[in-house]
Structure 1
Amino acid sequence: MKSVKPFLMFEGRAEEAMTFYCETIPDSRVLDVVRYGAGENGPQGTVKVARISIGGLEVMVSDSPVHHAFTFTPSASLFVDCSSEEELERIIEAMAEDGEFLMPPDNYGFSRRFAWINDRFGVSWQINLP
């Protein structure tokens, strides 16, 4: 086995999601992107496959040219441990824009502050201040 990585499949919004995650989560960046070319299965210029680093975690991203009857589920989520209250609040605010809270920001007893959010793309995030 060479590696295991989370894989996020979008339907036309991969570029927007990658940009958003890299702007929102500290120490995140796009590692590489392969785009659909003319005559390929996906719309030209969309993300065929990409690798991004989200806070040091390598994640694969793709735009599926096929419409699926499913999307993301909150049972698989990305867990972010923040280093400060300010960082946590900034990330929660960004993720909550056009998203939905599964657990609003609060002290649930297992950390000082925690929120669980489905972002505008349907990806589930657990934002924590240990």
Structure 2
Amino acid sequence: MALDSHLGHKFNFTPSMSLYVECESASEIEEAFRALADGGAELMPLDNYGFSHKFGWLNDRYGVSWQLNLSN
């Protein structure tokens, strides 16, 4: 759950807080990444970055940051 205050504040969503999701298959991570990227912004496209065979980081259309990792 994410909550926001009805009071004005000087901050917004940032990549410093992200949701991390372990995906079980290539098709699952590709579908999730594509859906979350629609209207959002890719920070790290799905790729092999050495620490993971397939990893991607993005902000969705609402500014929420997601890190997706292929678990196998």
**TM norm. shorter chain > 0.5:** yes
**CA positional deviation for 1:61:** 2.6
1:60-105 CA-to-partner distances (Å, cap 9, x unmatched) read 3334322322111112211111000011011001110111111111
The 3-state SS of whatever aligns with 1:62 is coil
Give the TM-score normalised by the residue count of structure 1. 0.51
Aligned-pair RMSD on alpha carbons?
1.3
Q: Normalized per residue, which structure has more strand?
A: 1
1:125 aligns with 66
2:6 aligns with 65
CA–CA distance in structure 1, aligned partners of residues 2 and 20 of structure 2: 17
Larger Rg computed on CA atoms: 1
**Whose RCO is larger (CA < 8 A, sep 6+)?**
2
Bigger Cα displacement from structure 2, 85-94 vs 68-77:
68-77
Gaps of 5+ in 2: none
Give the TM-score normalised by the residue count of structure 2. 0.87
Identify which of 51, 56, 59 aligns with 1:110: 51
User: Percent same amino acid among aligned pairs?
Assistant: 56
CA–CA distance in structure 2, aligned partners of residues 105 and 99 of structure 1: 14
CA–CA distance in structure 1, aligned partners of residues 19 and 3 of structure 2: 17
- 1:1-130 aligned within 5 A: 60-130=1-71
1:53 aligns with none
Gaps of 5+ in 1: 1-59
